[in-house]
């Protein structure tokens, strides 16, 4: 991992490997920022981006355990704006080429990215993403609607496909965050504080970085060539002191809004690996976590990105699931469940191997970058599970 820093491919990275809930190895490499070359701190604060999705899914499943919804509850029963849905025709050229949806969005759909929603930036030339761009719905910055305002906008747009028939990365987990607000009667940040962060002792996790902690906030960088992940060179992409995380947010994004530290996110991951309990707190039941690790996609449907190949991967309730392994992957990686953030924060749990890996950097984009795959290979070797 030091090689990636030395080659100016990453400004920093930390790596952590566990067997069970015991940490086998934890390292930090690189810098808080390239300008000062201040060494990366153990308690550095990172933009977690889509690692937030796992936290949001856990929050929703707490309410599932309380009987507040079932996986087959229509989303419109909780958020009425999602009634009377329209779907793009198969040959749609414009966002107005729609038909009425044959079925409602169910809770299992929004928890598994199979609802028919989109993100607006992954395929910007597609009909569905053009409609998001026109509606000024942008996950990468710009306007900051509240969760309620976002859902009102999303409900007015067409679906990319009939709910439950395909997989598409989307604002679905932000909709899940709004579900948590509606069912709990609390703002999303307050709910997470009360039911996950405080019980697990995650005192540095939230939706912005307070002034007194700003010195621990890592600078983020972008590669000089977005299309060549191994071309050296980094440009500063966001200044911590003036960027969006320097102040409270209107948009409490359940899909990508959290900042956190290694210690905090480790407590959350330990809770998951330990069957739903950690730090003396029961967050979820073991059977609920097992349900979250169960494929929710229709037969033959897999996780698919236009820019990243993820073969043999399906999706549960908040987790991607490794259903098949390639020749390059350890056989004991079968059954891994994982997800990561766009800026390069990734966590994966491998029950068949008995190990867990976490690595964090601040490279935009840094998801599914070669460093994360190489880290996983070393982690399996370190833990004696290379086959």
Per-residue confidence band for 385, with pLDDT thresholds at 50, 70 and 90: low
**Is 282's pLDDT higher than 80?**
yes
**Is 383's pLDDT higher than 50?**
yes
- Does residue 253 share a domain with residue 170? no
| Highest averaged pLDDT of the listed ranges 110-124, 217-231, 282-296 | 282-296
The number of folded domains in the chain is: 2
| Of 29-33, 107-111, 192-196, 240-244, minimum mean pLDDT range | 240-244
Per-residue confidence band for 139, with pLDDT thresholds at 50, 70 and 90: low
**Is 387's pLDDT higher than 50?**
no
- Does residue 336 share a domain with residue 257? yes
**What is the pLDDT, as a whole number, of residue 175?**
98
Single out the residue in 156, 184, 212 at which a domain terminates.
184
Q: CA angle, corner 62, sides to 172 and 46, nearest 5?
A: 60
CATH number, domain containing residue 104: 3.40.710.10
Q: Which of 173, 170, 159 is nearest to 83 (CA)?
A: 159
81 backbone dihedrals φ, ψ, rounded to 5° = -60, -25
Rounded average pLDDT over 213-236: 94
- Does residue 90 share a domain with residue 107? yes
- Does residue 244 share a domain with residue 358? yes
- Does residue 197 share a domain with residue 172? no
- Does residue 9 share a domain with residue 46? yes
Residue 243 lies in a domain: yes
Rounded average pLDDT over 42-63: 98
Residue 308 lies in a domain: no
- Does residue 201 share a domain with residue 180? no
Per-residue confidence band for 200, with pLDDT thresholds at 50, 70 and 90: very high
Residue 272 lies in a domain: yes
Q: Which tokens is 226 given?
A: 């977005």
Q: CA angle, corner 362, sides to 360 and 367, nearest 5?
A: 70
> b/e for 281-292, b at 16 or more Cβ within 10 A?
eebbeeebbebb
How would you classify the pairing of strands 98-100 and 259-260?
A: unpaired
**What is the pLDDT, as a whole number, of residue 306?**
82
**What is the pLDDT, as a whole number, of residue 327?**
80
Radius of gyration, alpha carbons of the chain: 20
- Does residue 295 share a domain with residue 240? yes
**Is 263's pLDDT higher than 70?**
yes
- Does residue 329 share a domain with residue 210? yes
Q: Which domain holds residue 347?
A: 2-51+188-299+320-382
pLDDT tens digits for range 317-367:
999 999 998 887 778 889 999 999 999 999 999 999 999 999 999 999 998
Single out the residue in 184, 216, 240 at which a domain terminates.
184
- Does residue 201 share a domain with residue 338? yes
- Does residue 345 share a domain with residue 218? yes
Residue 196 lies in a domain: yes
pLDDT tens digits for range 157-175:
999 999 999 999 999 999 9
Q: Give me the chain's average pLDDT, please.
A: 94
Rounded average pLDDT over 67-74: 98
Residue 314 lies in a domain: no
Host H or E run for residue 147: helix 147-156
pLDDT tens digits for range 264-279:
999 999 999 999 999 9
Question: What share of the chain in percent tops pLDDT 90?
Answer: 85
**Is 315's pLDDT higher than 70?**
yes
Single out the residue in 184, 206, 228 at which a domain terminates.
184
């Amino acid at each position: 991992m030091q090689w990636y820093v030395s080659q100016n491919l990453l400004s920093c990275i930390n790596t952590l490997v566990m067997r069970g809930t015991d940490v086998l190895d934890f390292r930090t490499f690189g810098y808080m920022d390239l300008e000062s070359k201040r060494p990366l701190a153990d308690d550095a604060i990172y933009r977690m981006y889509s690692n937030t999705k796992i936290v949001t899914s856990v929050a929703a499943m707490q309410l599932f355990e309380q009987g507040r919804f079932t996986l087959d509850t229509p989303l419109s029963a909780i958020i009425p704006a999602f009634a009377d849905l329209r779907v793009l025709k198969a040959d749609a050229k414009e966002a107005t080429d729609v038909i009425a949806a044959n079925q409602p969005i169910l809770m299992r759909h929004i928890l598994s990215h199979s609802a028919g929603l989109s993100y607006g930036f992954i395929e910007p030339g597609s009909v569905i993403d053009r409609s998001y761009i026109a509606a000024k719905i942008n996950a990468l910055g710009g306007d900051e609607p509240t969760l309620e305002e976002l859902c009102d906008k999303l409900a007015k747009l067409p679906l990319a496909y009939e709910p439950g028939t395909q997989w598409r990365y989307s604002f679905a987990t932000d909709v899940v965050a709004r579900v948590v607000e509606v069912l709990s009667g609390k703002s999303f940040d307050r709910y997470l504080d009360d039911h996950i962060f405080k019980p697990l002792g995650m005192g540095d996790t939230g939706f912005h970085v307070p002034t007194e902690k700003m010195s621990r906030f890592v600078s983020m960088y972008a590669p000089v060539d977005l299309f060549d992940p191994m071309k050296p060179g980094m440009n500063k992409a966001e200044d911590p002191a003036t960027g969006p995380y320097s102040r409270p947010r209107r948009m409490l994004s359940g899909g990508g809004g959290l900042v956190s530290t290694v210690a905090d996110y480790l407590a959350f991951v330990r809770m998951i690996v330990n069957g739903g309990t950690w730090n003396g707190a029961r967050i979820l039941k073991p059977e609920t976590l097992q349900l979250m690790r169960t494929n929710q996609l229709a037969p033959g449907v897999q996780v698919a990105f236009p820019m990243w190949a993820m073969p043999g991967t399906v999706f549960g309730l908040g987790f991607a699931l490794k259903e098949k392994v390639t020749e390059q992957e350890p056989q004991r990686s079968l059954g891994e469940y994982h997800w990561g953030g766009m800026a390069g924060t990734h966590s994966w749990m491998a029950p068949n191997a008995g190990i867990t890996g976490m690595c964090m950097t601040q490279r935009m984009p840094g998801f599914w970058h070669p460093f994360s795959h190489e880290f996983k290979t070393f982690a399996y070797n370190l833990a004696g599970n290379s086959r």
